[in-house]
């Protein structure tokens, strides 16, 4: 839903002051994708406004239409997310995507809606397997999942399980301000399904992630990185056309 919020907002055209992010367009998008119910989508948008992640676009000619735009705080957050992923891609192939994007702000503004379209049309990203979906569909579960994988130094993809080091629910609770009760519920299914396990009883010692759990996470992440890389190159191509047209 967040990707769709930004995609709608960043596609607003000055030539059409009623274009861009409205509650009606957002709810229609969410319903079309099957991402959430109408009430959930409406409530989510209202929370973004309440917490000042979105604000009203000023001087909209039709007062019956409420057009929204990201505040600087949320826009900078999404821009950082985009450029951070470009940096990861650069580490894989020695590219210079991040520096190019930082030097030209329009790359992000053009690429984000393109990347969002690619991601939401890819079932690998839109509907992750239940092995990791159980985390992604929980409050803060995605962050917890990313934290676990960030602890992996080396991944032997032939090994049945790999340690991500000592992990305690108390540590995660304090770090992310989530109750240990919620964390226990979050981890219980993964443990029951044999996707992860602690070396010692009562969730003590090093935490082992199984190869299936790791591969499903990598596959889901790969779909996102493909979308971001494609959107970056398509944005460069579009900028080239804009600049060529201006020069002509």
Opening angle at CA 124, ends 164 and 143, nearest 5? 40
Same domain, 166 and 69: no
Residue 203's region, left for phi above 0, alpha for psi from -120 to 50, else beta, is left
Residue 215 pLDDT level (bands cut at 50, 70, 90): very high
Same domain, 13 and 105: yes
Residue pair 199/183 in contact (Cβ under 8 Å)? The answer is no
Same domain, 106 and 213: no
Spell out a b/e string for 99-130, using b for 16 or more CB atoms within 10 Å of the CB, else e. eebeeeeebbbbbbbbbbebbbeeebbeebee
Same domain, 180 and 204: yes
Average pLDDT, rounded, for the chain: 93
**Mean of the pLDDT values across residues 60-75?**
92
**Domain count for the chain:** 2
- pLDDT for 248: 62
Q: pTM of this prediction?
A: 0.90
Same domain, 117 and 139: no
Residue 179 maps to which CATH number?
A: 1.10.10
Tell me the percentage of the chain whose pLDDT exceeds 70.
100
pLDDT digits (tens, 9 = 90+) for 101-138: 999 999 999 999 999 999 999 999 989 999 999 899 88
Domain boundaries, position 142? 130-217
């Amino acid at each position: 839903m967040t990707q769709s919020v930004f995609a709608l907002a960043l596609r607003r055209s000055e030539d059409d002051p009623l274009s861009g992010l409205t509650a009606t367009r957002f709810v229609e998008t969410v319903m079309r994708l099957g991402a959430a119910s109408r009430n959930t989508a409406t409530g989510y948008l209202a929370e973004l406004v309440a917490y000042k992640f979105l604000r009203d676009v000023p001087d909209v000619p039709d007062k019956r239409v409420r057009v929204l735009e990201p505040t600087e705080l949320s826009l900078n957050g999404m821009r950082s997310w985009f450029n951070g992923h470009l940096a990861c891609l650069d580490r894989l192939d020695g590219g210079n995507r991040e520096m190019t994007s930082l030097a030209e702000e329009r790359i992000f503004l053009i690429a984000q809606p393109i990347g969002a379209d690619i991601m939401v049309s890819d079932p690998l990203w839109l509907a992750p397997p239940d092995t990791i979906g159980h985390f992604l569909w929980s409050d803060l579960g995605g962050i917890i999942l990313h934290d676990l994988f960030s602890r992996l130094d080396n991944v032997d993809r032939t090994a049945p399980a790999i340690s991500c080091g000592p992990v305690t629910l108390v540590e995660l609770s304090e770090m992310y301000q989530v109750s240990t009760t919620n964390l226990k519920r979050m981890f219980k299914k993964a443990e029951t399904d044999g996707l992860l396990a602690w070396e010692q009883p009562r969730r003590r010692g090093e935490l082992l992630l199984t190869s299936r759990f790791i591969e499903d996470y990598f596959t889901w992440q790969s779909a996102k990185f493909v979308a971001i890389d494609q959107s970056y190159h398509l944005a460069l191509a579009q900028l080239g056309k804009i600049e060529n047209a201006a020069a002509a």
